[in-house]
Amino acid sequence: MRPLQPVRGTQDLLPEVARRHRHVTETARTVAELYGFAEIATPIFEFTEVFSRPIGETSDIVSKEMYSFVDRGGEEVTLRPENTAGVVRAVLSDGLIQNAPLKFFYSGPMFRYERPQKGRFRQFHQIGVELIGVAQPQGDIEVVALGSRILDALGIRQRTVLELNTLGDPPSRAAYREALVSYFSRRISELSEDSRRRLDRNPLRILDSKEESDGRVSLEAPPFEDFLNTASRDFFARVRDGLDALGISYRLNPRLVRGLDYYTHTAFEFVTSDLGAQGTVIGGGRYDGLVEMMGGPATPGVGWAAGIERLAMLIEEPRGPPRPIAVVPIGEAAEAAALTLAETLRNNGCAVDLGYSGNAARRMRRANRVNARVAVLIGEEEIARNVVTLRDLDSGEQSEVQMDLSLSELRVRLQAFYG
């Protein structure tokens, strides 16, 4: 039998990594609350049509990357590859649309069958926000500002660049799509196999292909700007003016696209050069056609998602938990007293590590291993005299402390170790 290992593309979040993930999530949640975004949690799996309908049966996500299966009840379900569709489904099925505008923050695992790379896993984790029911450019400005503030709170905004583009309104997008199909059809022999498949169903995705041959062809593609109508130009100008007013710097990137038909107007990414090829840490845009595509009324929306793994790789090591107090019983007779003392200290808000077995020397080695700040030693002699021995594990100094029912002197002495 081979040794058990995690499935390829998954990872165990050991305590140090889990602490980084938690710091990213808690920081983002706190900042999102400043903007009035309430937390929502949708199921990890949904009926497959929740994703296949808006994303498209022929898209790479649906055709190649989704983890879909038939459950024991004969229903086809899918582990969520992203969470926007799940949030919109929740809004519709829970009857929330009449309460728009709606502002949601989420966090949790997503699943895609992709080739694992640095910062990219088959089970990965995201934070994200969705603003549903706001048609004005102020919605785009607010969600971008929220993303920028989260990166700043994490201490990494200066390591990222905000890239910005417009996909125009549906008439502009349709006109550009037709122009792209015409252009790429004339040079189809130069395109990669994936881009040839995208030509009819998703030509905008060719523009951000990572294949070198596609990049060369795309350089000469007609610019989207030539196909923007006045309404689209005005909308994008108002978004840029709002970001300028807030002092949020950005870089225009005409090749930044969202390939699905429900995306309109603003597309944006916060990117970094510190993670190699996997440089996008936040990606989002406006999706005014999504709610309607999923069976609801025509409702605008805008949002973004961010990979927790990538953000966690960029941040500084977050502050760890407080160093514990090690309670060390000396001799079997002190076990019960040590157990009671440990729980009493916890009742007073102290982090306590209590070794489960072994002699005093072994338990002291454990105290050092868990990086305890101080050890409280209690044995038969101490119990008889109603005292405990405190040992400073940094200096090695130790002293006795008289015990009383309120542990007043002990608490004062312990407080001195923790400032």
More confident residue, 381 or 164: 164
230-245 helix and 137-153 helix, angle to the nearest 10 degrees: 40
Whether 224 is covered by a domain: the verdict is no
Backbone φ and ψ of 339, nearest 5°: -60, -45
* Secondary structure element (H or E) that encloses residue 166, with its range: strand 161-166
pTM for the model: 0.90
Q: Are residues 287 and 238 part of one domain?
A: yes
Please count the CA atoms within 13 angstroms of the CA of 344 that sit on its side-chain side: 16
Whether 392 is covered by a domain: the verdict is yes
* Secondary structure element (H or E) that encloses residue 203, with its range: none
Q: Are residues 144 and 113 part of one domain?
A: yes
Whether 205 is covered by a domain: the verdict is no
Please count the CA atoms within 13 angstroms of the CA of 28 that sit on its side-chain side: 30
End-to-end CA distance of the chain: 52
Kindly report whether the peptide bond that precedes residue 101 is cis, defined as omega within 30 degrees of 0: yes
pLDDT at 53 (0 to 100): 82
List the CATH number of the domain containing 36: 3.30.930.10
Could you report the per-residue pLDDT of 124-137, keeping only the tens digit for each?
999 999 999 999 99
Q: What's the whole-number average pLDDT of the chain?
A: 91
Residues above pLDDT 70, as percent of the chain = 97
Could you report the per-residue pLDDT of 75-107, keeping only the tens digit for each?
999 999 999 999 999 999 999 999 999 999 999
Whether 206 is covered by a domain: the verdict is no
Could you report the per-residue pLDDT of 11-22, keeping only the tens digit for each?
999 999 999 999
pLDDT at 56 (0 to 100): 64
Judged against a pLDDT cut of 80, whether residue 299 lies above it is answered with yes
Judged against a pLDDT cut of 70, whether residue 57 lies above it is answered with no
Q: Are residues 106 and 37 part of one domain?
A: yes
Give the number of domains in the chain: 2
pLDDT at 268 (0 to 100): 97
Count of other CB atoms within 10 angstroms of residue 170:
15
Q: Residue 87: which domain range?
A: 15-169+229-314
Question: Per-residue pLDDT averaged across 337-350, rounded?
Answer: 92
Whether 199 is covered by a domain: the verdict is no
More confident residue, 333 or 28: 28
Backbone φ and ψ of 212, nearest 5°: -60, -40
Q: Are residues 141 and 49 part of one domain?
A: yes
Judged against a pLDDT cut of 90, whether residue 274 lies above it is answered with no
Whether 203 is covered by a domain: the verdict is no
List the CATH number of the domain containing 394: 3.40.50.800
Could you report the per-residue pLDDT of 182-234, keeping only the tens digit for each?
998 998 888 888 888 888 878 888 887 878 888 888 888 898 889 999 999 99
Q: Are residues 160 and 48 part of one domain?
A: yes
Judged against a pLDDT cut of 60, whether residue 167 lies above it is answered with yes
Among 274, 295, 314, where does a domain finish? 314
Q: Are residues 162 and 105 part of one domain?
A: yes
Q: Are residues 282 and 259 part of one domain?
A: yes
More confident residue, 173 or 230: 230
For the ranges 19-23, 180-184, 258-262, the one whose mean pLDDT is highest: 19-23
Helix (H, G, I), strand (E, B) or coil at 154: coil
Q: Are residues 364 and 300 part of one domain?
A: no
Could you report the per-residue pLDDT of 311-334, keeping only the tens digit for each?
999 999 998 889 999 999 998 889
Tokens of 77: 């379900």
Whether 349 is covered by a domain: the verdict is yes
Q: Are residues 372 and 255 part of one domain?
A: no
Q: Are residues 351 and 302 part of one domain?
A: no
Whether 63 is covered by a domain: the verdict is yes
pLDDT at 117 (0 to 100): 74
